[in-house]
Amino acid sequence: MKKMFLFTLLAVLSLEAAAQASPKKTAENDVLKVTYSAPSKKGREVYGGLVPFGQVWRTGANEATEITFKKDVMVGGKSVKAGTYSLFTIPAEKEWSIILNSELKQWGSYGYDKIKDKNVVEVKANSMALTDLQELFTINATAAGFDIIWDKTKVSVPVK
């Protein structure tokens, strides 16, 4: 009985530790709300390594990041209706593709090829190098839209 209890306790603790490896986060302002899982750099090469250049990325960890617009908006100059979308990106060294897709509840970007016909909008956003390292992947809701920040890279996506 004690062994079973100990095994169960260890299993629960292991699951909790795994769940915290990339904690759930939200970023919100009066126009949008972003829900994502935040991985850590942990000494890894992020862009061009863990996150390959030129390939669709879930923009965080675990489930695909979801963004909700509380009203009709312009994202990168393109019209987007109020609603919730999966947020995918295609990182590159200088310019990223920002993709909003109507298919929700995706695990990562593994099934993206099957749902890319549901892309609502794809816009470009410049990336910029940061001098300070950002250990935890972060999305910030700003007055101008939202920022994607991790490692030594920041991408700002305008939303009006």
**Predicted confidence (pLDDT) per residue in 60-106, tens digit:** 999 999 999 999 999 999 999 999 999 999 999 999 999 999 999 98
Mean pLDDT to the nearest integer, 130-156: 97
Mean pLDDT to the nearest integer, 126-149: 97
CB 125 within 8 A of CB 100: no
Residue 111 has what pLDDT? 87
pTM surpassing 0.75? Answer: yes
CA distance 59 to 83: 19
Residue 92 has what pLDDT? 96
